[in-house]
Chain A
Amino acid sequence: MANTPQNKQNLRSPLAEARGLGSAKYGTEHWWHQRLISIALIPLTIWFVLAVIAHLGAGYDEFVAWMRSPFSAIMMILTVAMTFHHAQSGMQVVFEDYLHVEWQKMAAIIAVKFICFALAAACIFAVLKISFGA
Chain B
Amino acid sequence: MANGSGRPLSPHLQVYRWQYTMLTSILHRATGIALTVGTLLLTWWLVAAASGPEAYATAQGFIGSFFGMLILFGWTFALFYHLANGIRHLVWDAGLGLDLPNAERGAYMVGASSIGLTLLVWIVGLIVW
Contacts and interface: CB of A to CB of B under 8 A. Distances in A.
A67 B124 CA distance: 23
B70 interface: no
Interface extent on B, as a size class? 35 or more
Interface residues of A, number: 37
B121 A53 contact: yes
A129 B103 CA distance: 46
Q: Is the interface of A mostly helix, strand, loop or mixed?
A: helix
A6 B128 CA distance: 70
Contacts of A45: 79, 83
Q: Is the interface of B mostly helix, strand, loop or mixed?
A: helix
Given A49-B121, A56-B125, A100-B4, A126 B49 contact: yes
Interface string A78-96: 0010011001001100100
Interface of B: 2-5, 29, 32-33, 35-36, 39-40, 42-43, 46-47, 49-50, 52-53, 56-57, 60, 64, 79, 83, 86-87, 89-90, 93, 121, 124-125, 128-129
16 contacts: A35-B93, A38-B90, A39-B90, A53-B121, A53-B125, A57-B64, A57-B129, A63-B49, A63-B56, A84-B39, A87-B32, A91-B32, A91-B33, A116-B36, A122-B43, A126-B49
Interface of A: 35, 38-39, 41-42, 45, 49, 53-54, 56-57, 60, 63-64, 67, 76, 80, 83-84, 87, 90-91, 94, 100-102, 112, 116, 119, 122-123, 125-127, 129-130, 134
